[in-house]
Structure formats: C-alpha cells, structure tokens
C-alpha cells in the first residue's frame, strides 16, 4: 500500500518542519509526502520519503518556472506527481506533456504518480471510460509508475467516490495498464479503510487530510 500526501500550495518550510516533528506514520506502509518545491529540502531533512508535485522532462534549458529531475534528485527527492487534475484544469496540462514528464522521471530513476480522472460533466455524460482510456493510453507501464484515479468531482469537495465507484474505475484502469492504482478525492480518516479495502485500490493520494499530521497518520494506519 502506498499512501501519498499531496500538500498542494500549502506549508512553507517552518510548517513543514513542524509537521515532520509531529507526524508518526506506522511501519509497514509506504508513506510519501508531496510538499511545494520550496519545502522539499525541509521535508527530506525531516526524514520523510518525499515526492515533488510536478517535474519537467528536459535536463535543463529555457523553461521558466519548471524544475528538472536532477534538481529534485540533488535534494534527495524520490519521485513526483505528474498530470494532477489541478495542473490540467488551471495550467493547461495535457496528456502528452504528462506522459513526457512521467517518462523522463522514470528513466532517471524517480518514482511517479500519474493522475487521471473524469470531470463531473464527463461522468454524467457517460464518458468516464473514454476519458480514462485517453488519459491512460498516453502512459507506458513501468515498475516505478503508479496511477492515481482522482475523479475531479471528488477532489477537495468532501464528495468521496463510493467504494463501488472507485473499485469499478480502478478495475477498468488496470485492464488498460498493469500498475498499482491509488484512489484520490476527499480521502479522510473516516472513509479510508473502506476505500482501501477494495480489491483494486492499492493506496491513496490524499490532499486536505494530509496537512494535519494526526489525520494523515490515521489514514496511513487504515492501510495496514
């Protein structure tokens, strides 16, 4: 089981150090924290396994605002999220660029969490499978690649997918690509065990509930 905390644009260095001091994850669960770029080093120093929230595919170059794989590795960062729905919705991220980011990171030895998931309107229009198929078809399987299924209507809304909806989508994704699949979207201590008990749910990508060390530790314990 992999439980990853996506902090999004929360927690500068001092808050990151305070989190590390208070966070007591259980043994036996693969726990990862994804802080903002400027807090990566503090999280590594705090003894956590740390992923970035995005990574560029080029070794270096004129790409203002981007961060390379080697820059992350120099800090001791172990992996990266790519293609998060907030990147897709607000920053124009595409399937093609998500795939390039994933491929470059994997080749260089980073682990990758590649995010997929349908919008509410797409689910209502019966397009969920087609959207997931399109997003997944851009990715190549790799031993260090994990997919996160995050229905966009469930992210930050408190509207978690039911375990049945999650299981159905995860089974479909696994019919397309043979990698572990995390569930993301309003995972909380109260619903984590039920979601993680589904046969094709291999872990969770947690946003809001990963910001508090006690609530994130409770979600990690639900994975045992």
Q: Which residues bind ligand PGA (CB under 6 A)?
A: 6, 150, 155-156, 184-187, 205-209
CB 129 within 8 A of CB 137: no
Closest separation in Å from C-beta 175 to ligand PGA: 23
Active site residue 142: no
Taking CB atoms, the residue at the shortest distance from ligand PGA is 207
- Per annotation, catalytic residue among 86, 93, 118, 150: 150
Active site residue 150: yes
Strand 2-6 vs strand 49-52: parallel, antiparallel, or unpaired? unpaired
Closest separation in Å from C-beta 58 to ligand PGA: 25
User: How many beta carbons lie within 10 A of that of residue 86, not counting itself?
Assistant: 18
Nearby residues of 27 by Cβ (< 8 Å), 6 or more positions away: none
CA distances from 221 to 12, 192, 214 (A): 26, 9, 11
Closest separation in Å from C-beta 220 to ligand PGA: 14
State which residue, 76 or 156, has the beta carbon closest to ligand PGA.
156
- Cα(14)–Cα(19) distance, integer angstroms: 9
Three-state DSSP class for residue 164: helix
CA-wise closest residue to 55 among 41, 43, 73: 73
Closest separation in Å from C-beta 144 to ligand PGA: 19
State which residue, 79 or 208, has the beta carbon closest to ligand PGA.
208
- Per annotation, catalytic residue among 84, 86, 122, 170: 84
State which residue, 73 or 188, has the beta carbon closest to ligand PGA.
188
Given CA atoms 90, 92, 98, 104 in this order, what sign does their dihedral have? negative
State which residue, 155 or 195, has the beta carbon closest to ligand PGA.
155
Catalytic residue ranges: 84, 150
């Amino acid at each position: 089981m992999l439980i990853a905390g996506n902090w999004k644009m929360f927690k500068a260095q001092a808050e990151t150090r305070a989190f590390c001091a208070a966070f007591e994850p259980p043994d036996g669960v693969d726990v990862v924290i994804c802080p903002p770029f400027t807090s990566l080093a503090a999280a590594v120093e705090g003894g956590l396994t740390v992923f970035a929230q995005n990574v560029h595919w080029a070794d270096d170059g004129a790409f203002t605002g981007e961060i390379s794989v080697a820059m992350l590795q120099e800090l001791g960062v172990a992996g990266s999220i790519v293609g998060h729905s907030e990147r897709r919705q607000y920053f124009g991220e595409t399937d093609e660029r998500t795939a390039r980011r994933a491929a470059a990171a994997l080749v260089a030895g980073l682990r990758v969490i590649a995010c997929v998931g349908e919008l509410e309107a797409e689910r209502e229009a019966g397009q969920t499978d087609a959207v997931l198929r399109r997003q997944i078809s851009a990715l190549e399987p790799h031993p260090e690649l994990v997919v996160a299924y995050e229905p966009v209507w469930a992210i930050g809304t408190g509207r978690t997918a039911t375990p049945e909806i999650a299981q159905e989508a995860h089974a479909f994704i696994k019919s397309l690509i043979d990698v572990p699949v995390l569930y993301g979207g309003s995972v909380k201590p109260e619903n984590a065990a039920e979601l993680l008990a589904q046969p094709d749910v291999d872990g969770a990508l947690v946003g809001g509930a990963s910001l508090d060390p006690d609530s994130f530790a409770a979600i990690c314990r639900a994975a045992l």
